[in-house]
């Protein structure tokens, strides 16, 4: 019985929080700084873009982060609000269009499955024809008998009572079936001990069989190639339909609401209010020489980054304003901004991005890609896949003195392993110490950047600062 580890049972969001908690500049991943104020006269857009631009702008006018990403974009609207109705209508349009295309995708997948089953049957039949030209005598005889049985069961059987099987079973032509399987040619029938009536029937049936064998192989190979080409076109169509439907599925998912909790007091069903959560994550690469000049030649398994995360929680009362582009909603209300500092490695940032993509697109990929993955092996079998270029290995010249020094190497091998073990431990201890120093520097740098944007935001918005 296979046991599932606790790590594999965690959701992507839980894994992301665990990575951040281990890399946080605070013990419990609590915010370094926090701002809460009512912004009834100021919309959410100026707040968001001020923070985004300040993080991206190079110093001294900004934080000078190398990259800034939007890691969270969620909202929940009261079901009785006009904002909920407006976005619900847009989401429904996206869903309807996506479902139409998903129906087409399902039709193409069913067609591909039928083609694969047909090609499997054709392949089995064609293998029998190929065995007729085999150098192995037993293979040739087995293939010939198999084709003759196939002809009797699928072609000759259409004669009804006049078929070989029915004649042998009901009209006592007991030798006819065995003779048909044994005779090599029409001329060979004369050398078989049979009565004239059986010989005449046998010759006519052998003549029909040999004609069928030649034509059927040509037609079967032609049909096989046609269906392979059709399968290829269906695969290309499926890829196109999948690419076309993804934007609609993604748009429908983005327009969908996030449930911040059934007991969320900020949302009242009959009120006209919305709660929005946005998160910006900026990173700045830390170079080892920034910590100590002696670390300039230090090689790390994964680089460290000074990361600043800004979380914006906005409780707003949207107001609809008619413009030339249509109905536009202006947001104003209470703003809460939290600033956090992290020291994240390149590997941890990569893991966070993968988990975020998995969390957002798991359903979408399941709907659009699982069908193709399930039959990918069969598709590659019939259509082939690009072969990797094989590198030609140069012949190695043998060393004539290798036997002389082999004994010395064998004797020194235990000493070498002890030396390598001690050396590895020493290098690892030094490397761990240096990485800890770089990680602490990255945390201190992230803290300083958090304070800079926190302090200047308050000053720029006329708040008390010191």
**pLDDT classification of 50: cutoffs 50, 70, 90:** very high
Task: Identify the pLDDT of residue 341.
Answer: 93
What is the predicted pLDDT for the residue at 68? Answer: 92
Q: Compare 460 and 167 and report the one with higher pLDDT.
A: 460
Per-residue pLDDT at 430? 53
Q: Which two tokens stand for residue 335?
A: 């703003």
Query: Is the model more confident about 332 or about 323?
Result: 332
pLDDT, the chain, mean: 77
Cβ partners under 8 Å of residue 157, min gap 6: 163, 165
Q: How confident is the model at residue 372 (pLDDT cuts 50, 70, 90)?
A: low
Q: What is the pLDDT confidence band of residue 323, given thresholds at 50, 70 and 90?
A: low
248 has a pLDDT exceeding 80: no
Written as six digits, the tokens of 413 are: 């091998």
Run of H or E residues at 72: strand 67-77
Q: Is the pLDDT score of 267 beyond 90?
A: no
Which residue, chain included where needed, has tokens 């300040």?
54
Tell whether the model's pLDDT for residue 27 goes beyond 50: yes
pLDDT at 407: 53
Q: Which of 31-40, 41-50, 272-281, 373-382 has the lowest mean pLDDT?
A: 373-382
pLDDT at 374: 63
End-to-end alpha carbon distance in the chain: 62
Could you report the per-residue pLDDT of 164-198, keeping only the tens digit for each?
A: 877 777 777 777 777 788 777 777 777 777 778 87
Edge-to-edge order in the sheet of strand 304-316: 33-39, 333-345, 304-316, 274-286, 67-77
pLDDT of 388 above 70:
no
pLDDT at 431: 55
> Does the model's pTM come out above 0.85?
no
- pLDDT tens across 196-232, in order? 887 888 788 888 888 888 888 888 889 888 988 898 8
Instruction: Give residue 361's pLDDT band: very low, low, confident or very high (50, 70, 90).
Output: low
What's the pLDDT score for residue 456?
A: 92
Domain ranges within the chain, ordered by starting residue: 15-78+267-373+406-460, 99-251
pLDDT for residue 461: 86
- Predicted confidence at residue 393, as pLDDT, reads 47
Query: Using CA atoms, how far apart are residues 75 and 21, in angstroms rounded to an integer?
Result: 24
Tell me what pLDDT residue 130 has.
82
**DSSP designation for 185:** S
| pLDDT exceeds 80 at position 438 | yes
Residue 280 confidence (pLDDT): 93
Q: What is the pLDDT of residue 74?
A: 84
Contacts 24+ apart (CB under 8 A), 258-263: 258/74, 258/75, 258/76, 259/76, 260/74, 260/76
pLDDT > 70 in the chain, percent: 80
pLDDT value at residue 340: 93
Q: pLDDT tier at 424 (50, 70, 90 boundaries)?
A: very low
Which pLDDT value is given to residue 433?
73
Ranges 86-95, 164-173, 380-389: which has the least confidence: 380-389
What ranges in 327-401 are assigned the alpha helix state H? 346-374, 376-383
**Per mean pLDDT, which range of 7-21, 247-261, 364-378 is the poorest?**
364-378
| Helical (H) or strand (E) element with 313 | strand 304-316
Cβ neighbours of residue 131 under 8 Å, at least 6 residues apart?
139, 140, 142, 143
Q: Choose the weakest-confidence range: 132-146, 362-376, 401-415.
A: 401-415
Share of the chain above pLDDT 90, in %: 11
Q: How confident is the model at residue 239 (pLDDT cuts 50, 70, 90)?
A: confident
The model's confidence at residue 5, banded by pLDDT at 50, 70 and 90, is very low
- pLDDT above 60 (res 411): no
Residues 6+ apart with CB under 8 A from 307: 23, 281, 282, 283, 284, 341, 342, 343, 344, 349, 446
Confidence of residue 325 (pLDDT cuts 50, 70, 90): low
Measured CA to CA, the distance from residue 323 to residue 315 in angstroms comes to: 24
């Amino acid at each position: 019985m296979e046991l599932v580890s606790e790590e594999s049972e965690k959701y992507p969001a839980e894994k992301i929080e665990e990575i951040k908690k281990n890399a946080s500049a605070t013990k419990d991943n609590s915010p370094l700084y926090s701002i809460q104020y009512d912004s009834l006269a100021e919309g959410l857009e100026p707040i968001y873009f001020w923070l985004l631009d300040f993080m991206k702008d190079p110093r001294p006018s900004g934080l000078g982060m190398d990259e800034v990403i939007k890691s969270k974009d969620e909202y929940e609207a009261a079901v009785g609000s006009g904002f909920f109705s407006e976005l619900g209508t847009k989401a429904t349009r996206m869903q309807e269009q996506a479902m139409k295309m998903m129906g087409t995708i399902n039709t193409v997948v069913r067609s591909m499955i039928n083609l694969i089953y047909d090609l499997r049957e054709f392949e089995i039949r064609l293998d029998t024809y190929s065995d007729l030209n085999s150098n192995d005598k037993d293979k040739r005889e087995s293939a010939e008998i198999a084709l003759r049985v196939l002809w009797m069961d699928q072609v000759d059987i259409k004669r009804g009572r006049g078929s070989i099987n029915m004649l042998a079973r009901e009209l006592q032509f007991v030798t006819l079936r065995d003779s048909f399987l044994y005779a090599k040619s029409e001329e060979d029938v004369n050398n078989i001990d049979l009565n004239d009536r059986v010989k005449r029937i046998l010759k006519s049936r052998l003549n029909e069989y040999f004609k069928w064998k030649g034509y059927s192989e040509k037609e079967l190979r032609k049909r096989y190639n046609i269906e392979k080409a059709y399968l290829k076109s269906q695969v290309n169509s499926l890829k196109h339909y999948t690419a076309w439907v993804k934007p609609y599925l993604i748009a429908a998912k983005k327009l969908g609401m996030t449930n911040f909790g059934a007991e969320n007091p900020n949302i009242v069903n009959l009120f006209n209010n919305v709660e929005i959560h946005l998160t910006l994550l900026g990173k700045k690469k830390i170079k080892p020489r920034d910590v100590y000049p002696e670390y300039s030649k230090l090689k790390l398994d994964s680089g460290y980054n000074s990361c600043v995360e800004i979380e914006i929680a906005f409780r707003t009362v949207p107001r609809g304003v008619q413009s030339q582009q249509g109905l536009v909603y202006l947001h104003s209300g209470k703003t809460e901004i939290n600033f956090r500092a992290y020291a994240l490695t390149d590997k941890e940032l990569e893991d966070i991005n993968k988990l975020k993509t998995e969390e957002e697109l798991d359903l979408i990929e399941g709907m659009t890609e699982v069908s193709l993955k399930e039959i990918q092996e069969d598709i590659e079998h019939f259509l082939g896949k690009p072969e990797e270029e094989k590198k030609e290995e140069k012949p190695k010249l043998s060393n004539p003195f290798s036997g002389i020094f082999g004994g010395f190497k064998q004797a020194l091998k235990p000493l070498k392993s002890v030396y390598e073990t001690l050396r590895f431990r020493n290098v690892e201890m030094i490397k761990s110490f240096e990485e800890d120093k770089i990680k602490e520097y990255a945390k201190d740098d992230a803290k300083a950047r958090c304070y800079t944007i926190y302090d200047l935001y308050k000053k720029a918005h006329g708040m008390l600062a010191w």
